[in-house]
Structure 1
Amino acid sequence: MGIHSIRFKMTFLLVTIVASLVVLLLVINVAFAEKFYISGKSKTMHNTYDKVNEIIAKYDSGEINKTTMMTELDSYVSANAMQALVVDSDWTTVYVSNMSGDNRLLQRLMLSILLGGAGKAEENSEETEELNPKDYRVDFDKFGQETVDILSTTSNYTIQKVYDKAVDDSFMELWGSLDNGDSVIIRLPIQSIKDNIEISNTLIRYVGISVMFIGLVAVFIFSAYITKPIKELSKIAERMSELDFDAKYTGKDKGEVGLLGNSMNDMSSKLEKNISKLKSANLELKRDIDKKEQIEQMRTDFLSNVSHELKTPIALIQGYAEGLKDGIADDVESRNYYIDVIIDEAAKMNTMVKRLLTLNQLEFGDDEPIMERFDIAELVRSVVNANEIRANQKNLKIITENADNTLYAWGDEIKVEEVITNYISNAINHCKGDNLIKVTIENKDDANIRVKVFNTGDAIPDEDIDRIWEKFYKVDKARTREYGGNGIGLSIVKAIMTSMGKEAGVRNLDNGVEFWFDLDCDVK
């Protein structure tokens, strides 16, 4: 339990509060208990004086006899743990309590009158002159050393606090005269209050220590109950900081801890949603950035490749045009040859530019495919027939397999026709050996039709087989230039198939190369 934990703080706070209350109680007890006790006893003495005055008055009037008077006074005085003495004008004892002797109280009464009753002496001068303390054996030297503290004074009596050295004790005394002229002294020992205060202080200390110990144990036990859900919330917050939004508060507390837990659950859900949205936005932004970088790279590659591809035909056109201008070809046959070269190179440039524009539209998504149901077998037969003249010119044979029956597929028919045309044109340009080109249609599986175009000839080198789909990439640059190729046809094929969400590929066989592409089957 660290000094910064709630458990420690609660324990420390309770101990501090209890200790402060105990100290405060001790201070109040020491400072005010005696005064409070004296104040209360002063009221009791006032009441006792009135009671004694009342009972003596009844006795003087004959309402009660002496025995009754003595009994009533003893009952009242003893009940308040007091001593009392009443004497008449001749100092004859009218009443004395059972708890004290006549002589001691009489000495106290006489001493109080002599030392503190100047006013009384003037009012009762005759009685004062007849008073002879020596007749009552009063030791004035001893009594003169007493400490007297006047608490209150009336016209009939005085209440004072006295330390009686003879008995080594402190008392409260009421001395004065009754309504009938009798002198009275009422005495109450107050040393017991000091003992009681000391006892109460000791009790407070013991009780305080016990309460602190019990409170310490109770706080240590119950603080675990209070801090347990807080620790749980701390762990949940820590897991949330690590983006673990499965962490939830499951407590049943209805107070502040429960409210905090439910708020954390709400915050967790909102954070998860917002972070999900943020991730989606970041992903979209990343795609946009990647697309922008891709477009920029494509633009750079396009400019670089176009400038490279156009350099040769432009140079040829420029050279032959300058030859015509300089009159190098002075006969008709030579001029026609120069003109045919210029026308041929211009046509190649035109074809390349058109293909590049088509490829750019496909790559940028500006030419979306129109998906329709068509007969792929009929389309294959149509493209093969269109290319038979070129094949015959090169002594090549084109055959078809499974292309005689009707077979429906889904795709953009015009773009698929361009794919087949590119494959067959590429096969015608690279066919060697047996001079055979075979176009096959087959069911790859229940969901796909595969069209394959095979030509005999040299295999594609392994280091080039994955790059032939790149724009302007040529395996054999001299041969490609020979038949007017520019390395764009297969890039167009790849872009078309990608736009339709299907695959295209190539593989080397023992006696040639096979290109293929897939289409969705007709679903009835």
Structure 2
Amino acid sequence: MQGVYSRVVDICKNVDWNKMDSEQKDTIYDKLDQLSSNTNMSIYLVQIRVYQGSGDIAELAYVYPSDSERLQQVTKNQLDKYVKSIYFGQKLDDNCKIITQTANYSMYNVYDTRVDSNFLELTGKMPDNYWIYLRSNYQSIQESAGVSNQFMLYVGMIVMIAGVFIMYFVSNQYTKPILRLAAHAKNMQKLDFSTRYKDNRDDEIGVLGNSMNALSDRLEKTISELKTANNELKLDLQRRSEQEQMRQEFLANVSHELKTPIALIQGYAEGLQENINDDAESREFYCEVIVDEADKMNKMVKKLLSLNQLEFGNDQVHFEHFDLRSVIQSIVNSSDILFRQKEVTLSYHPDEEPIMVWADEYMIEEVVSNYVSNALNHVKYENKIEIKTIRKGDRVCTSVFNTGDPIPEEDMDKIWSKFYKVDKARTREYGGNGIGLSIVKAVMDAHNQKFGVKNYDNGVEFWFELDVKSVD
């Protein structure tokens, strides 16, 4: 209300109401009408003359607006109270309470019994006995304020709900990518590099996601290389350990194999030196034992050297065409005296046509010789040995079967190892050292061909395969 009073004073400033023409008055009235309409407040401009003795209003002339006589009478009654209070200190009635009072204006809270409503009223003096009288329904102001507050409450609730949704939407735009980045980081912590950050963003989060993807790729590659290097190192250490174990086993086996013949040679040599037996027959026997044991050691050393060259690739495989039938027949002929000594029945029926194979003739001869020698050393019961060659398309399978005891199942894979003997007592009896089948394995591995052994109820069969090559 004080603001309205100030604006009315500004509008009426330096105005001479007696000298104004109608156009000037209309301009001022329009401004006051607009102000009254905008503020929902009644505005009155009146000229009052007061009797100094009684304080009664001697003259009241309305400058603005031209109200009806009833409203002018109400205004006059109210102004009469205020004038007497201001000029003569007359006490206002209980329905009128001063809110604010200054040198220029006074503001009151008035209860009007005629309309049963509260009003805010302001009276202020201007030059030349002009007064400003402002009147506003206080109850309507309260109702308007209540409506305004309720409206603001609804608007505030709508804005708050909308703000929550907007904040949720906006925050999701940032929190979801961050949560995906956090999940990506946790997977990287678990060394799981299969996930990737896939959002296409140009902001800092997108840059961070792309950097994490690049880091994940680099870590995956580095860890993969480390695992590969670690596995290779493990394999290398394992190979070294196996080689060391093989070396120790080899030395132990060689020492064991050489110990008996050396002991025999030493014993019989000392007997000859000390002339334990003077007769020529005993000395001849001693010499035969020494020569026999030395021959066994010589053969074993040669086999070991041959096996060592095969295993370490020092002995090159010289492939050539040759007749396998001739190789087998040659070994059969050279072993004929052994077959007759052991009373072995040999079954071998060579093909009428040559069996031309592509292999190293010397090595294959060694394989067949070892198979035949092994069969002679283990043949029993019916004393039968059977040698067969069976064509299978572009391959030929050669097998050597001997009657006797089957090989125990737990020893089937071990018989190809150096110095391994199924029956150690029997092996020593015929002078075996467990190297022959190891040479077979090394030769067939060098040729990249199949070989093996098969048990039957009445004996054992050893076999190997070779490629058959036609000769133009």
Task: Specify the code of the residue in structure 2 equivalent to 1:93.
Answer: L
Alignment match of 1:516 (pick from 440, 463, 467): 463
Distance 2:126 2:180 in 1: 80
Which shifted more, 404-413 or 159-168?
Answer: 159-168
Is 2:396 aligned against 1:485?
no
Alignment match of 1:494 (pick from 441, 446, 449): 441
Distance 1:399 1:67 in 2: 151
**Aligned twin of 2:232:** 284
Pairing of 1:399-414 with structure 2 (within 5 A): 400-402=348-350, 405-414=353-362
**Aligned twin of 2:76:** 103
Task: Specify the code of the residue in structure 2 equivalent to 1:344.
Answer: D
User: After superposition, what is the alpha-carbon deviation per residue over 1:454-496, rounded to whole angstroms, capped at 9, x for unaligned?
Assistant: 34x4233435751433333334444432332112211221233
Is 2:429 aligned against 1:429?
no
User: How far apart are residue 94 of structure 1 and its match?
Assistant: 3.0
**Aligned twin of 1:299:** 247
Among the aligned pairs, what percent are the same residue? Answer: 38
Is 2:431 aligned against 1:458?
no
Alignment match of 1:418 (pick from 316, 341, 366): 366
Is 2:22 aligned against 1:64?
yes
**Equivalent residues of 1:159, 1:172 under 8 A apart:** no
**Aligned twin of 1:175:** 124
User: After superposition, what is the alpha-carbon deviation per residue over 1:432-466, rounded to whole angstroms, capped at 9, x for unaligned?
Assistant: 566654432222x33532111234x4233435751
Which shifted more, 466-475 or 271-280?
Answer: 271-280
**Aligned twin of 1:186:** 133
Distance 2:280 2:444 in 1: 48
Q: Secondary structure at the match of 1:47?
A: helix
Task: Specify the code of the residue in structure 1 equivalent to 2:401.
Answer: F
Task: Specify the code of the residue in structure 2 equivalent to 1:52.
Answer: C
**Equivalent residues of 2:406, 2:457 under 8 A apart:** no
Distance 1:226 1:159 in 2: 59
Q: Secondary structure at the match of 1:189?
A: strand
**Aligned twin of 2:60:** 93
Is 2:43 aligned against 1:83?
yes
**Equivalent residues of 1:148, 1:163 under 8 A apart:** no
User: How far apart are residue 67 of structure 1 and its match?
Assistant: 9.1
Alignment match of 1:342 (pick from 265, 287, 290): 290
User: After superposition, what is the alpha-carbon deviation per residue over 1:143-187, rounded to whole angstroms, capped at 9, x for unaligned?
Assistant: 99523254xx7xxxx355443467785636362223xx2332232
Distance 1:108 1:166 in 2: 13
**Aligned twin of 1:311:** 259
**Equivalent residues of 1:507, 1:513 under 8 A apart:** yes
User: Gaps (5+ residues) in structure 2?
Assistant: 51-57
Pairing of 1:239-278 with structure 2 (within 5 A): 277=225
User: How far apart are residue 194 of structure 1 and its match?
Assistant: 4.8
Greater relative contact order structure (CA < 8 Å, 6+ sep) = 1
User: How far apart are residue 49 of structure 1 and its match?
Assistant: 1.9
Distance 1:74 1:468 in 2: 126
**Aligned twin of 1:47:** 7
User: After superposition, what is the alpha-carbon deviation per residue over 1:360-416, rounded to whole angstroms, capped at 9, x for unaligned?
Assistant: 4545x4447536243251443444444445545656576644455333434444332
**Equivalent residues of 1:105, 1:185 under 8 A apart:** no
Pairing of 1:28-47 with structure 2 (within 5 A): 42=3, 44-47=4-7
**Aligned twin of 2:55:** none
**Equivalent residues of 2:119, 2:136 under 8 A apart:** yes
State TM-score, norm by structure 1: 0.67
Distance 2:458 2:33 in 1: 143
User: Gaps (5+ residues) in structure 1?
Assistant: 1-37, 115-132
Q: Secondary structure at the match of 1:303?
A: helix
Distance 2:347 2:30 in 1: 150
Distance 1:74 1:244 in 2: 80
CA distance 1:436–1:379, change in 2 (3 Å): same
User: After superposition, what is the alpha-carbon deviation per residue over 1:127-152, rounded to whole angstroms, capped at 9, x for unaligned?
Assistant: xxxxxx59xxx6446599523254xx
**Aligned twin of 2:100:** 148
**Aligned twin of 1:121:** none
Which structure features the higher share of helix residues?
Answer: 1
State TM-score, norm by structure 2: 0.73
Is 2:318 aligned against 1:351?
no
**Equivalent residues of 1:373, 1:408 under 8 A apart:** no
Task: Specify the code of the residue in structure 1 equivalent to 2:126.
Answer: S
User: How far apart are residue 422 of structure 1 and its match?
Assistant: 0.9
**Equivalent residues of 1:77, 1:84 under 8 A apart:** no
**Matched residue count:** 449
